[in-house]
Each structure stands twice: as structure tokens, then as C-alpha cells.
Amino acid sequence: MAVQDLAQADDKVESVADVATLLERVDALEERVAELEEAPAQGIEDRLSMVVFSGDLDKAIASFIIATGAAAMGLEVSMFFTFWGLSIIKKQKQYEGKNILEKGFAAMLPGNTQGLGLSQMNFFGAGSRIIRKLMNDHDVASLEEMVGMAQEFGVRMVACEMSRELLGISDDELMDGVEHGGVATFVGDAARSKGALFI
């Protein structure tokens, strides 16, 4: 074989090897792209997080309109109920096994969403009855319906463990499906959210 032919054959072998390395790199890159697509931009998810601090009817309505709307749009939603906001996720009130202060809080705080008052113009509950009537007249979904829908959509509802204990609210008083957590539960969700609200 001529020296020239040998040189050509060598070139071919080299280019085959090149193609093989290139294919390997393409595979590796495709894998990496898939990985990055799974975990977009530094762990930011399609999620919305909310702190519901207030136990007012109007603010509860606002937070559940946002929660159900966002969930319907395809966002994951986390709601963190703390302090007066715990009243929104109560299903009943209980006095058994509570000390005098806890009994006082149980007596003063609403036992469920029906007992929530307006942040303004409440007039000992007349205001919230008027708002509920207006919402009904205008075909706006009630707070209770929206809470049910949020549960249907898989909205994550977390009760603040610290304020729950502080106010002496027992687990049995809270709605079913409510999780318990602390600040890190909220911050953990908020940090990977596209938005976070304090209501």
C-alpha cells in the first residue's frame, strides 16, 4: 500500500473517533438540558405562597379568591395560616382540656368561617351578614365554597404550630387535611415561589 493511502486511512480512523466523542458530548449535553428543565431557574417553581395572618372575613375571601384563581391557572399554592388566620381553618370550637385563658380565647374567637367578622364596618356581625348576602345576590362564590375548591385543587394549607399552641387551638378544632408547620415550612415554600403574599 502506498504511503499516501495509509495516511488517508489514518485520517478516516481519526474522524470516526471524533464523531464518536462528539456524539458522547451531545448525549451528555442533552442529559444536562433535561436536568435543567426539570429544575428551572434556581429551583423557582410555578408556585404562589401566602401568609394568612388576618382572621377577618373580607381578608379571608381575598386570600381564597387568589388561592383558587392561582390554582386554576396551574400554580401550586401554599397557604400558611398563623395567629388570627387560624380561625379561617377551624371547623369547630372545643373547651374540654383547656385552661382558663385557652377557654377565654375559644369563647372569643370564631369556631368556623361562619363566625368571621369584617375588618371594617362589622357592627357586631351585622356587617359580615350583609357582605355574605351581597355576595350571594351577586353570584359570588361563598368563602366556604372557595375553601372547598382550594382543597379540591390540592392547595397546601399549613397551620402555624406555634400560634396554634399559643391560642390553645387543638388539632380537633382544625379542618381535616390541614398540615402543621413552622416558619421554615413557609419560607421553604416561599423561597421556591414566583410570588409571596402576606394577608
Residues in contact with other proteins by the rule CB under 8 A: 46, 65, 68-69, 71-75, 138-141, 146, 149, 153
Nearer to other proteins, 75 or 160 (CB): 75
What is the smallest separation between the CB atom of 63 and other proteins, expressed in angstroms?
12
Collapsed DSSP state (helix, strand, coil) of residue 7: helix
What is the smallest separation between the CB atom of 129 and other proteins, expressed in angstroms?
19
Burial 149-183 (b: 16+ CB within 10 A, else e): bbeebebbbbbbeebbeebbbbeebbbeebeebee
What is the smallest separation between the CB atom of 152 and other proteins, expressed in angstroms?
8
Residues 6+ apart with CB under 8 A from 131: 57, 58, 118
Nearer to other proteins, 115 or 148 (CB): 148
Nearer to other proteins, 69 or 97 (CB): 69
What is the smallest separation between the CB atom of 107 and other proteins, expressed in angstroms?
34
Nearer to other proteins, 129 or 194 (CB): 194
Residue for grid cell 480512523: 13
| Distance of alpha carbon 37 from alpha carbon 133, whole angstroms | 48
